Amino acid sequence: MSLYGRIFAALYERSLAATEEAGLRARRAALLARARGTVVELGAGTGLNLVHYGPAVQRLVLTEPEEPMARRLEARAEGLGVRAEIVRAPAEHLPLADASADTVVATLVLCTVDDPATALSEALRILRPGGRLLVLEHVRSPDPALARFQDLVRPVWQRVGHGCRCNRDTAALLAAAPLRLEREERFRVPKVATFVRPGYEAVAVGEGG
């Protein structure tokens, strides 16, 4: 377990507090109101989404590969009295059956996984036909000048953000995937540096839906 991993987990919520307050929390709430049935969250971190899952959620599986995050996640779920299964696994290798989820949730995580294409294909593998993939990410800018700047700062930011790639083109990844985009929206992530400001939200339906 890396020392920086422990520090990152400890500081994560504090570093995001102003952004959550300025609108990200409301976006999480609106998006996650669509979660229902068996819900699998990828890289759930400290559990900032837990308060947003409503009564339509019957089973909640929270995946998280980083031990310092997973421990905070367990404590948060317990503190809130949320019944959840915490699975220590990366999004690229989900120990879950095909078509076993009604909803898969990815918030601020596809920027960090090492292999986003594999993570997305795993998400679609476990999603039942007609199930929903709910995505809320910061992404590569559609503005070429800002995208170039993101490319420039990515190596340093990746260290600071414990694996976060600020230039990751998650919107393009979804556009090329075998899914139907039901809804997508670009937005500005509030109260963050310019290079992590381009936000992207999507609701996608697994193939066969």
Ligand X SMILES: C[S@@+](CC[C@H](N)C(=O)[O-])C[C@H]1O[C@@H](n2cnc3c(N)ncnc32)[C@H](O)[C@@H]1O
Nearer to ligand X, 38 or 46 (CB): 46
Closest distance of CB 84 from ligand X, Å: 14
The reply on whether position 170 binds ligand X by CB under 6 A is no
**Other beta carbons within 10 Å of 174:** 22
Instruction: Mark the segment that binds ligand X (CB under 6 A) among 53-61, 87-95, 147-155, 191-199.
Output: 87-95
Among 23, 163, 190, 209, binds ligand X (CB under 6 A): 163
Closest distance of CB 129 from ligand X, Å: 24
Give dist(CA 169, CA 122) in Å, integer: 18
What distance, in Å, lies between the first and last C-alpha atoms of the chain? 40
Bin 99: left if φ > 0, else alpha if -120 < ψ < 50, else beta.
left
Nearer to ligand X, 22 or 130 (CB): 22
Give dist(CA 143, CA 136) in Å, integer: 19
Applying the rule CB under 6 A, the residues between 41 and 70 that interact with ligand X are 42-45, 48-49, 64-66, 69
Nearer to ligand X, 113 or 171 (CB): 113
Closest distance of CB 72 from ligand X, Å: 9
Q: Which residues pair with 134 in a beta bridge?
A: 105, 203
Size of the site for ligand X (CB under 6 A): 20
Helix intervals (H) in the chain: 3-19, 25-32, 67-80, 116-126, 144-160, 170-175
The reply on whether position 92 binds ligand X by CB under 6 A is yes
Give dist(CA 110, CA 92) in Å, integer: 11
Binding residues vs ligand X (CB under 6 A): 42-45, 48-49, 64-66, 69, 90-92, 107-109, 112-114, 163
